[in-house]
A and B are shown apart, each in its own frame.
Chain A
């Protein structure tokens, strides 16, 4: 079945004549242009729809045959091949020069409003005058001139008397048989005229449309949505004097969002009316491009309320409209986010720091509080709260964490900062939700309680992860080479689960200087002199006895590959279980226990903490791996790590 081009009509009306949209004919009739019944002079008028927006359309005479033959009829789906846009007295319509009929007849797609007969361009001007000669407010009212006329030019239904609108009655546009400004091209239910004396009001309710379909070319519109955020009153002073403004955000059942702004008198009218969480029908506001610096909603437009606007509370709870809309990103994606980007995140709070008072640049003091959020991507991030958040949500979170409950926290509109690593901070329009009622929160809770709590995570909020087991980064041997670890400015610290498969046993230790420099041993290699004493070049001293320190070259292996690593004193000792001196003695005595000691550590799994860094060896640059810590694999801990790894990998799929 053919699909209509989304927003095809709106885009075409906006001027895109190359789009070639697929639209549906929702209304079609022939009109005699000359007023005489010659069929030759018949032109076909239509209303085309893209499922949401409709527009009047004219077919060029050459297409008339299609219409006459019935090939083209009401409900046909066609692709507009060649067309132009005509502006006729502030009305836009599509003049179709060439089209292709895709489906001759089909059910009406989408929700276009079929215009009633009265709304159609009426070549017979006498109709206009039928209503007692009084100006036709209903037909000319509302948003007929959204495109060019200022909204204030539209006569508000409620206010004007006849006298004020005599100009309407005499407008030549009322008389022309061609396109009249009275045509309402889009959403409008059957006009419902009630006679209130000499003033006619169209009291039919405007049809509710999705927020995502709003655009300035829309006719009269209404949206039904829930208030998700309400801003504070902001007072300002400019050349025109003092003013005040506030905004609120709306979310409808399709997930569309838009910001609504009110100034001055309108603020007075609507500020108390609007409450967060309640559902309202908003109608007849002005659509203007959204100001991206303040407005972070996903909509290119925002609504400016004006005199004719209405904001009506819907008393019955509409549960089809969600209370909030989030676009959560995994914490691992924040690492690549741009500085100052605005995004939504959700995670489990693992630690909360106390509130501190910070002096701002303008001398004002404010509160600051940091905490850690962790999610299933294996990363954690530092969240910085400012101002009221610190004492409100911040205190609540701190109490919960202290008592051992680690709550899920959702942040809407947090700002990314690249001050130290990447962190997220609150801004004035941020919103915080503790343990929100959402699927995402439930999944996080299950993951955390089911093992995620103990999972090792890497913080993206610091440049360098210390060698603490909670923050270890696990890699396979192959990844060292594949990911080019160690090639950066700083060394990479990783943990590898591998076994030792080979020791270079010829030189496993060296004679070292025993001299203590402060609280550290010199450890430089000492050479035996003629006197039989050991000489250290650095300390410029001689020693009778030297120390022995491990310098092991090992080959390690895991399922992905093998590589060479170097182990120094501490790591060597952990691995072999005896001191270098003892081992050396065993070797010199040719004690079989020398071989046994070394063989005993082969082919068992260890968790090896590696420092990886590319270094220069003469002209060559080689990546050197150093073992700084050796841990036996704890089956229980390792199982938990693996379970968490499995749950993390499947969460990402």
Chain B
């Protein structure tokens, strides 16, 4: 397992803290605009994902990639998480991983 580039768990708001670094998040695919995937993060923000075209709409997708801005991620890996994904626990995870449980991550 290659741990050289760990990805931080982020949601829409926390993405801001990791611009330029590797992140991972789950978004719900909303629509596609010219090769870019527009997805909704687990805390309700709109994120733009590059290189994730072809994701079926309204399904949850995990994106691992480099954050290009506080709203854009250049995807390296996309994984289909299906329809039944519950965004609330993931959001809770992001908050804990970057908040009080920060020491356990990255």
Contacts and interface: CB of A to CB of B under 8 A. Distances in A.
User: Do A and B form a real pair?
Assistant: yes
A646 B96 contact: yes
A650 interface: yes
B92 A451 contact: yes
Interface in A432-458: 450-451
A636 B89 contact: yes
A640 interface: yes
Interface string B85-105: 010110010001000110000
Chain A residues touching B, range = 10 to 19
A446 to B, nearest CB: 11
A604 interface: no
Contact of A639 (B86, B100, B101): B86
B89 A643 contact: yes
Contact of B92 (A635, A639, A650): A639
Given A451-B92, A643-B92, A636 B86 contact: yes
Interface string A625-653: 00000000001100110110010001000
B7 to A, nearest CB: 20
Interface residues on B, range: under 10
Contacts of B100: 650
Which of B86, B92, B100: most chain A CB closer than 10 A? B92
Nearest to A646: B96
Interface string B51-94: 00000000000000000000000000000000000101100100
Contacts of A636: 86, 88-89
A640 B89 contact: yes
Contacts of A646: 96, 101
Interface string A277-299: 00000000000000000000000
Nearest to B84: A636
Contacts of A635: 86, 89
Nearest to A450: B92
A59 B75 CA distance: 85
A452 B104 CA distance: 23
B58 to A, nearest CB: 17
Nearest to B100: A650
A640 B96 contact: no
A636 B96 CA distance: 17
A639 B100 CA distance: 17
Label chain B's interface by main secondary structure.
helix
A640 B92 CA distance: 9
Interface string A552-564: 0000000000000
A138 to B, nearest CB: 62
B8 to A, nearest CB: 19
Interface in B21-43: none
Interface string A588-613: 00000000000000000000000000
B86 to A, nearest CB: 4
A650 to B, nearest CB: 6
Contacts of B96: 643, 646
Contacts of B89: 635-636, 639-640, 642-643
Nearest to B87: A636
B95 to A, nearest CB: 9
Contacts of A451: 88, 92
Contacts of A450: 92
B105 to A, nearest CB: 14
A646 B104 CA distance: 14
A334 to B, nearest CB: 27
A643 B92 CA distance: 7
Contacts of B101: 646
B6 to A, nearest CB: 22
B96 to A, nearest CB: 7
A77 B27 CA distance: 68
Nearest to A642: B89
Interface string A387-429: 0000000000000000000000000000000000000000000
A302 B31 CA distance: 70
Nearest to B89: A639
- Of B86, B89, B96, B100, the most chain A CB neighbours within 10 A belong to B89
A54 B7 CA distance: 65
Contacts of A642: 89
Contacts of B92: 450-451, 639-640, 643
A293 B66 CA distance: 67
Contacts of A639: 86, 88-89, 92
Nearest to A644: B92
Nearest to A451: B92
Contacts of B86: 635-636, 639
A450 B96 CA distance: 12
A584 B92 CA distance: 46
Nearest to A650: B100
Contacts of A640: 88-89, 92
Nearest to B96: A646
Contacts of B88: 451, 636, 639-640
A636 B100 CA distance: 22
A640 to B, nearest CB: 6
The 9 A-B residue pairs whose C-beta atoms are closest, nearest first, are A639-B89, A636-B86, A643-B92, A640-B89, A650-B100, A643-B89, A636-B89, A646-B96, A451-B92
Interface of B: 86, 88-89, 92, 96, 100-101
17 contacts: A450-B92, A451-B88, A451-B92, A635-B86, A635-B89, A636-B89, A639-B86, A639-B88, A639-B89, A640-B88, A640-B89, A640-B92, A642-B89, A643-B92, A643-B96, A646-B96, A650-B100
Given A640-B92, A646-B96, 16 more contacts: A450-B92, A451-B88, A635-B89, A636-B86, A636-B88, A636-B89, A639-B86, A639-B88, A639-B89, A639-B92, A640-B88, A642-B89, A643-B89, A643-B96, A646-B101, A650-B100
